[in-house]
Amino acid sequence: MNPNPGSENPPRKEPAQSTALQLACGRLLLLGVVFVMAYGVVAVRVIDLMIVQSASAESVQEAEELARLARSGDLLAQVRRGNIYDRNGVLLATSLKTPALYADPALILDKPAIARALSQIFPELKEAETLTKISVPKSRYAWLRPNLSPAQQDKVLELGEPGLAFEYADSRIYPQGVLAAHLLGYTGRDGTGLAGIERGAQKTLAQGRDVTLTIDVRLQHALHREMKRAIEEFSAQAGAGMIMNARTGEILAGVSLPDYDLNFTSVLAADPEKNKEILTNRLTLGVYEFGSVFKIFTTAALLETQDAPFSMTFDARKPLKIGRYTINDYHAQKRVMTVPEVFMHSSNIGSALMARSVGAQKLQGFLSDLGFMNRPQFDILEVGAPLTPKPWGESSTITVSYGHGISITALQLCAATAAMVNGGLQVHPKLLLPASGDVSVIKAQARLISEETSQKMRALLRLVVTQGTGKKADVPGYNVGGKTGTAEKSGGKKGYNRKSLLSSFIGAFPMDNPEYVIFVMIDEPQGTKKSYGYATGGWVAAPAAARVVTSMAAILGLPSDQYDPTQDISLPLEQYVKPETPEKKKLASN
């Protein structure tokens, strides 16, 4: 400390001795102080370690986890793929860390027993295959199964096999299973969207932002249930259905059958060719000749471009011969018919004559305005391009008038029908719900037909349900209107197969100001005893649509007493419709 302790107290006698002693004393003191300080530091550190820090350190496990976290420093920074929600905030898709099972073959002693035990826990793991996987000599890694559920993981842990281990990775979970399978789509193992909205909104989702869809799971389920029921009842091959908001084009529900559980897509997606039937989105990708439902547009074209009155007549007494084609009526009336009659009896001859009076060019222009000539823009990328007649000859005009020779997607059909009934404004189908107040995504709605024509179309569509081919789509109190369609699918001798049908119904309700467009299509239905062998749109698709409307009413809380039958919009059309039987005439006069 003080290098010369004696300097402040200068000794007079025996200076040398006293200086040496004082120096030694000072050095000893210094040494002592250094030691005391060193021990002091150690003591403080010991107190710190044993008392201060031990109070906060909870366990060894915690420390280990902290160390692990510190090692994978990017764990917190890693971007998780965004979630997908329905319009009410129900979770449709999320990413979770799930355990994947792998084996270290070198550590497994009783390999056959483990293979057997695993095949019992996971029915899809074949015992023999697993055994080969874990019996590879010198191998230290055998990947067994991704996405274990907590219960499955527990069972594996109960085996107590040190050679079985888990690695954790993000995987996509779809809590609603098969619901809206084709609309949601799926991701690959690397987490990139491969189909549906997973692919369509890949950029947003990859940035970790959530996506909200326009669909409502409750309506989706109702539609799915009724579609499935109709397909089973009529032993059909496939089907498609949609509920769309008639004004905004928001898709509230969309079903394509057969479908698949989104949580098990890896097997299906591995072989897309073989599983094409299941993976094809029949709403947006599949293009179909829809048949009679197309008469909606032929009739609208007539009313809009020719300003035709309902009283205009068409001679449907004899089959129409155009070139090598002969056009017949399915529900043949064999008489001269007015516009409402042609529409409600779904007369092919009448529609062909309508198209003729519109003219090829105007009809083409009209259909092009409806968006039937181009591939539609949509939030999902799997969208089919329509097949239109090329070149467009006279016979094309005729066949297109009743929905043959032109193939479009269900999406286009629904959007165009919505425009016919919503007052005439074009709708752009939407699957991504725009954030409230976000006007950037709202596209201009062009006027396709006048409000007056739209009003007429509503009355005609209602007439089909009250008196025409779509009677089975009626739900008392809900003012349903629509058009049935039964198309023969291409194939067979004359280019069309009489036995394989595409039966559909497209409608809207409530008809005095439609809010919802409903579409049901059943592919290759077989007539049943209950339908007297018929497999037409009126027998197959219309009842399913009615059941969907009934369910929708309950789900959305739409009361049944808001409709007044005496004010029905189809009543003014009855003057143009010849009553079929004396009995019906009597009813009409009442």
Which residue out of 95, 171, 256, 292 is catalytically annotated?
292
Closest CA to 215 of 83, 380, 92: 92
Query: Cβ of residue 523: shortest distance to another protein, in angstroms?
Result: 21
Which is closer to another protein, CB of 96 or CB of 587? Answer: 96
Give the span between the Cα atoms of 316 and 328, in whole angstroms: 9
79: left (phi > 0), else alpha (psi -120 to 50), else beta?
beta
Q: Is 35 exposed, middle or buried (0-12, 13-18, 19+ CB in 10 A)?
A: exposed
Give the span between the Cα atoms of 226 and 167, in whole angstroms: 41
Which is closer to another protein, CB of 80 or CB of 443? Answer: 80
Give the span between the Cα atoms of 516 and 223, in whole angstroms: 13
Which is closer to another protein, CB of 105 or CB of 514? Answer: 514
Which is closer to another protein, CB of 450 or CB of 550? Answer: 550
Query: CA angle 587-579-338, nearest 5°?
Result: 140
Query: Cβ of residue 442: shortest distance to another protein, in angstroms?
Result: 28
Give the span between the Cα atoms of 448 and 422, in whole angstroms: 11
- Judge contact between 465 and 343, C-beta under 8 A: no
Give the span between the Cα atoms of 498 and 238, in whole angstroms: 18
Which is closer to another protein, CB of 250 or CB of 474? Answer: 474
Closest CA to 344 of 448, 215, 211, 481: 481
Give the span between the Cα atoms of 393 and 399, in whole angstroms: 10
Query: Cβ of residue 70: shortest distance to another protein, in angstroms?
Result: 7
- Judge contact between 516 and 247, C-beta under 8 A: no
The single residue listed with the structure tokens 């059943």 is 522
Give the span between the Cα atoms of 574 and 311, in whole angstroms: 11
Query: Cβ of residue 355: shortest distance to another protein, in angstroms?
Result: 30
Residues that bind another protein (CB under 8 A): 1-2, 8-9, 33, 37, 40-41, 44, 48, 52-53, 56-57, 62, 65-66, 69-70, 75-76, 90-92, 94-97, 173, 175-177, 179, 217-218, 220-222, 225, 471-472, 474-478, 530, 543, 546-547, 549-551, 553-554, 557-562
3-state helix, strand, coil in the chain (%, to 5): 45, 20, 40
Structure tokens at 189: 């193992």
Query: Cβ of residue 546: shortest distance to another protein, in angstroms?
Result: 6
Query: Cβ of residue 471: shortest distance to another protein, in angstroms?
Result: 7
Q: 452: Cβ–Cβ under 8 A, 6 or more apart, which residues?
A: none
**Dihedral of CA 575/577/578/582: which sign?**
negative
User: Beta strands 408-409 and 91-103: pairing type?
Assistant: unpaired
CA 80 distance to own-chain centroid: 21
Query: CA angle 439-424-452, nearest 5°?
Result: 140
Query: Cβ of residue 168: shortest distance to another protein, in angstroms?
Result: 10
Which is closer to another protein, CB of 295 or CB of 547? Answer: 547
Q: Is 406 exposed, middle or buried (0-12, 13-18, 19+ CB in 10 A)?
A: buried
Which is closer to another protein, CB of 37 or CB of 587? Answer: 37
Query: Cβ of residue 95: shortest distance to another protein, in angstroms?
Result: 8
Neighbours of 356 (CB within 10 A): 17
Which is closer to another protein, CB of 98 or CB of 409? Answer: 98
Which is closer to another protein, CB of 145 or CB of 225? Answer: 225
Which is closer to another protein, CB of 184 or CB of 296? Answer: 184
Which is closer to another protein, CB of 76 or CB of 435? Answer: 76
Neighbours of 94 (CB within 10 A): 18
SS3 label, residue 89: coil
Closest CA to 212 of 441, 553, 552, 508: 441
Query: Cβ of residue 411: shortest distance to another protein, in angstroms?
Result: 24
589 part of the active site: no
Q: Which residues in 515-542 are b (16+ Cβ under 10 Å) and which e?
A: ebbbbbbbbbbbbeeebeebbbbbbbbb
Closest CA to 511 of 555, 471, 567, 557: 567
Give the span between the Cα atoms of 429 and 409, in whole angstroms: 12
According to DSSP, the residues that pair with 409 across neighbouring strands are 287
Query: Cβ of residue 475: shortest distance to another protein, in angstroms?
Result: 5
Query: Cβ of residue 243: shortest distance to another protein, in angstroms?
Result: 14
Structure tokens at 377: 């823009």
Cite the active site residues. 292
